[in-house]
Amino acid sequence: MDFITALGKLLSSSRLRELYKSDTESLANKFNINEAERSSFINLDITKIEAQAKTLLSKRFHEVVKILPGTTALLGELAHQQFINYSESFWPEGVDRHLLDATSFIQYLKRNHICFCKAEYNKVKFNLKRKKLSIHYLSSVEINGRARKAIQVIYQKSRSLNELYFFLG
């Protein structure tokens, strides 16, 4: 493995950073760092790596909050810690990485029976799948402090996402 790939793995995993601190040589062997870059890898300043990892995680969280404001509001003070817990299992890549991160975060919350905003989840999936129309039943949408059943219609028009709610009962 080349140095840049190994550095990326370190930045994205607190477990690997802990292993780096306790047994740098073993991790270099595990990564099969080529000889030309091995010295650079072994002599990394782990304090700076930890700081950079924290900054990257903070940026990821900030992007997810912009996409999922309702979910993060529902979670309140737990949102950041839940995101940290989730972040160890997935590191998004590519053009849609923020949408992928938001979707994966909600899937993590769902697996762990933690509340999330279903309407936001539907919108993120809609964006990722590049659909033109999507219709969803929502068992509980809060309007003026009152929970109501609704049909959510999401559609694409002139490159903008539009959303309608039809309230039932």
**Per-residue model confidence as pLDDT tens digits over 62-120:** 999 999 999 999 999 999 999 999 998 888 988 899 999 999 999 999 999 999 999 99
**Per-residue model confidence as pLDDT tens digits over 115-161:** 999 999 999 999 998 889 999 999 998 888 888 999 999 999 888 89
Number of domains in the chain: 3
Tokens of 85: 């817990």
Q: CA 46, 52, 57: angle at the middle one, nearest 5?
A: 125
Report the pLDDT value the prediction gives residue 51, as an integer from 0 to 100. Answer: 96
Report the pLDDT value the prediction gives residue 134, as an integer from 0 to 100. Answer: 95
| Alpha-carbon gap, residue 125 to 104, rounded angstroms | 10
85 and 111 both lie in a single domain:
yes
Q: What is the pTM (predicted TM-score) of this model? A: 0.85
84 and 99 both lie in a single domain:
yes
59 and 40 both lie in a single domain:
no
